[in-house]
Amino acid sequence: MGQYMRLVKFLGRIPRETCTKILLGLLITGLGFAQAFLVAGAITGVLDGRPASTIAGKLLGALAALVLRMLLLRFQEGYVRKMAAKVKAVIRNQILDKVMMLGPAYRNSQRSGNLQSLVTDGVESFEPFLTQYLPQTVVVLFTTLFSTIYMWTLDSSVGILVLLMAILSILIPHLFMPAVSKVMIEYWQDYAELNSGYIDHMQGMSTLKSLGASKRAGALLAGRAWHFAGESMKNLNVSVSDSTVIVACTAIGSAASIVMASIHMAQGRLSYGSLLVILFLTGECMKPLSEMNTYWHSSYLGLSVAEELFAILDEPVVIKDGSVSSNAVSPMPEIRIQDVTFRYAETLPPAVSALDMTIEPGKVTAIVGRSGSGKSTIVQLLLRFYDVSSGRILIDGTDIRDLSLEYLRSMTAVVFQETYLFYGTIRENLQMAKPDATEEEMTEACRQANALEFIEALPAGFDTMVGERGATLSGGERQRIAIARALLRNARILLLDEATSSVDIEHEARIQEALDHCMQGRTSVVIAHRLSTIEHADRIYVLEEGHIAGYGTHEELLAGNAVYRNLIEAQKAMDEMREKEAGYEQQ
């Protein structure tokens, strides 16, 4: 019941549409009642031998009610679609806003397919409950109250019987709900799992093909699909059983009311005119109940998905927004990492431990280390994708937890090791960094990132569509667009997380030159292992298993730090191998 009430609150976001839908339902039902009264009156007039004009007037009135009712039904159908679009937009915005607030830490713990299923199909399943069932309950309340009272004035026994049938029609679906809910939750979980599997296998198609595992993956998905089909049949069986009982109640109630009224007429306790009214009115009274039953069955899936929806909306936000949003940071800020320890989960060892670093204003600070030493973790902490477990990070003396997230990230540009481009044009991807960027600004940023040449060679230039995740571009091309995007942002702090990792040797020097130019006058943090990227840094920190194994300039570390020397030697060997491979390709 608590989830029902929380779903009702979504309609509070569109009060005008909700009230209009209820009013339409009442008008349509009211016209049905008017039609019943008029037809009953016309037949009574015939039996009583009243003037033809009187009878014709009632029949014309019934015809007018029928036509108007049809027009309102047609209007209501379109109106409900608009209402549904609005309420679904409200729900989707709440989900997406909450997921954005929860940030990468939450997203990394969830399957993308499950979230996608909820935001698309899951939200769609709320439509019958919110736009049809809930407004219909108000219509049923008023129509049942009216018809019961009116029939009571004609025949108290019939009034009581109609009321009992109405109550049973409303209660029976809720009595079935525990069994239905169990089946529908299993149905939705299987659907979300199947959807996630399809997305995973589509995104990993190249890997499956290269491993020769596509047939095995297909067989696995087929098994899940057949299991889902079984859950669908189970859901159908429960739904049909529920519906059969309700249809039987409404049919028996209507028939019993008419039989009882007929007996009372035969006994002289009821006029035949009243019998005709009961005959026509009983059907109109049961019609809203039947419609509500249909909407209820259509709502089963949405009610099952509600648990997952509210699980996300109730998820506590770990990263709390700060209040400082201006004038706290200078154009070239200093960053201090003081005794910082962080672990991704309580059960895991620290990713970094007792870190103390000073990133001087306007200078380049490099962080190097083997894979898994904690380099990228520092970038994620600086962006507050996660908060430190202990210690603090200060920017110009202000704890970053006191800065508003929007302010913190507006002053920071970052190029990640794994480049992500959105489906759309190159221009749209660049404008993610600066929506109002001019053509000249984009051109200059791409020139500095050594991306302009290949972009201009494309058929549509900046308006060239890139595939999902930039699949139509090479790794180096994606990386250069990401660098151009960071340059376009023109932020005070520049974070480069292996920014040249996907760039070939031919273009690496030119891009490094552009990055050197970009880092001038900014506080820059460079996560890298290539000598060309770090040798000119003002200070280099060496990480080993989450701890600082030393720091200094390139020359100082090369002379006195064994960990650093090993890293440089390993990278030199790797570069030599790459140069040989490049030479073979040219031959």
Instruction: Render pLDDT for 540-552 as a digit per residue (tens, 0 to 9).
Output: 999 998 899 999 9
Q: Tokens representing 420?
A: 């992500």
Q: Are residues 158 and 283 in the same domain?
A: yes
Beta-strand ranges (E) seen in 208-294 are none
Backbone angles phi, psi at 51, to 5 degrees: -60, 150
Cα–Cα distance measured from residue 192 to residue 180, given in angstroms and rounded to the nearest whole number: 18
Q: Tokens representing 424?
A: 């759309």
Q: Are residues 301 and 426 in the same domain?
A: no
The pLDDT value recorded for residue 96 is 83
CATH of the domain at 306: 1.20.1560.10
Look up tokens 């108007």; give the residue: 68
Number of separate domains in the chain: 3
Where residue 18 falls among pLDDT bands split at 50, 70, 90? very high
Cα–Cα distance measured from residue 511 to residue 444, given in angstroms and rounded to the nearest whole number: 13
The pLDDT value recorded for residue 545 is 87
Q: Are residues 540 and 486 in the same domain?
A: no
Asked if pLDDT for residue 341 goes beyond 90, the answer is yes
Residue 272, in any domain of the structure: yes
Q: Are residues 419 and 374 in the same domain?
A: no
Rounded percentage of the chain residues whose pLDDT exceeds 70: 82
When pLDDT is averaged across residues 38-67 and rounded to a whole number, the result is 86
The pLDDT value recorded for residue 357 is 93
Bridging pattern class, strands 493-497 and 412-415: parallel
Q: Which of 224, 221, 163 is nearest to 190 (CA)?
A: 224
DSSP character at residue 360: -
Cα–Cα distance measured from residue 195 to residue 559, given in angstroms and rounded to the nearest whole number: 55
Q: Are residues 404 and 446 in the same domain?
A: no
The pLDDT value recorded for residue 335 is 92
Instruction: Render pLDDT for 238-281 as a digit per residue (tens, 0 to 9).
Output: 666 666 767 777 777 777 877 888 888 888 777 778 888 887 88
The pLDDT value recorded for residue 475 is 72
- Show the domain range for 535: 347-411+495-505+523-587
Instruction: Render pLDDT for 500-542 as a digit per residue (tens, 0 to 9).
Output: 665 556 666 666 776 776 777 789 899 876 666 788 888 999 9
Backbone angles phi, psi at 325, to 5 degrees: -130, 10
Q: Are residues 565 and 422 in the same domain?
A: no
Q: Are residues 114 and 218 in the same domain?
A: yes
The pLDDT value recorded for residue 21 is 93
Cα–Cα distance measured from residue 404 to residue 26, given in angstroms and rounded to the nearest whole number: 49
Amino acid 189 reads: Q
Rounded percentage of the chain residues whose pLDDT exceeds 90: 14
Residue 336, in any domain of the structure: no
Q: Which of 586, 449, 423 is nearest to 508 (CA)?
A: 449
Cα–Cα distance measured from residue 162 to residue 247, given in angstroms and rounded to the nearest whole number: 14
Residue 335, in any domain of the structure: no
Which helix H or strand E contains 354, and what residues bound it? Answer: strand 352-359
The residue among 297, 313, 329 that closes a domain is 313
When pLDDT is averaged across residues 414-426 and rounded to a whole number, the result is 80
Q: Are residues 407 and 472 in the same domain?
A: no
The pLDDT value recorded for residue 287 is 83
Q: Tokens representing 583?
A: 């030479």
Residue 275, in any domain of the structure: yes
The pLDDT value recorded for residue 200 is 65
Q: Are residues 289 and 356 in the same domain?
A: no
Q: Are 446 and 458 in contact (CB under 8 A)?
A: no
Residue 516, in any domain of the structure: no
Q: Are 24 and 75 in contact (CB under 8 A)?
A: yes
Bridging pattern class, strands 364-369 and 412-415: unpaired
Q: Which residue has the higher pLDDT, 528 or 380?
A: 380
The pLDDT value recorded for residue 500 is 65
Q: Are 515 and 479 in contact (CB under 8 A)?
A: no
When pLDDT is averaged across residues 66-95 and rounded to a whole number, the result is 91
Q: Are 528 and 500 in contact (CB under 8 A)?
A: yes
Q: Are residues 370 and 500 in the same domain?
A: yes
Q: How far is CA 58 from the centre of its chain?
A: 54
Residue 339, in any domain of the structure: no
Q: Are residues 145 and 242 in the same domain?
A: yes
Cα–Cα distance measured from residue 343 to residue 322, given in angstroms and rounded to the nearest whole number: 22
CATH of the domain at 565: 3.40.50.300
The pLDDT value recorded for residue 166 is 78
**Residue 464 burial by CB count (10 A; 0-12/13-18/19+): exposed, middle or buried?**
middle
Residue 448, in any domain of the structure: yes
Q: Tokens representing 203?
A: 């995104």
Q: With left for phi above 0 and alpha for psi between -120 and 50, is residue 367 left, alpha or beta?
A: beta
Classified as helix, coil or strand, 414 is strand
pTM tops 0.75: no
Cα–Cα distance measured from residue 454 to residue 477, given in angstroms and rounded to the nearest whole number: 8
Residue 193, in any domain of the structure: yes
Q: How far is CA 447 from CA 466, 515, 518, in A?
A: 19, 12, 12
Cα–Cα distance measured from residue 316 to residue 195, given in angstroms and rounded to the nearest whole number: 26
Cα–Cα distance measured from residue 571 to residue 563, given in angstroms and rounded to the nearest whole number: 13
Q: How far is CA 341 from CA 334, 338, 381, 398, 466, in A?
A: 20, 9, 10, 18, 40
Where residue 185 falls among pLDDT bands split at 50, 70, 90? low
The pLDDT value recorded for residue 499 is 67
Q: Are 342 and 350 in contact (CB under 8 A)?
A: yes
Which helix H or strand E contains 350, and what residues bound it? Answer: none
Q: Which residue has the higher pLDDT, 142 or 302?
A: 142
Q: How far is CA 114 from the centre of its chain?
A: 10
DSSP assignments along 428-445, one per residue: HHHHTT-TT--HHHHHHH
Instruction: Render pLDDT for 286-301 as a digit per residue (tens, 0 to 9).
Output: 888 888 888 887 777 7
The pLDDT value recorded for residue 214 is 66
Sorted by sequence, the CB contacts under 8 Å of residue 474 that are 6+ apart come out as none
Q: Are residues 280 and 358 in the same domain?
A: no
Asked if pLDDT for residue 340 goes beyond 80, the answer is yes
Asked if pLDDT for residue 428 goes beyond 60, the answer is yes
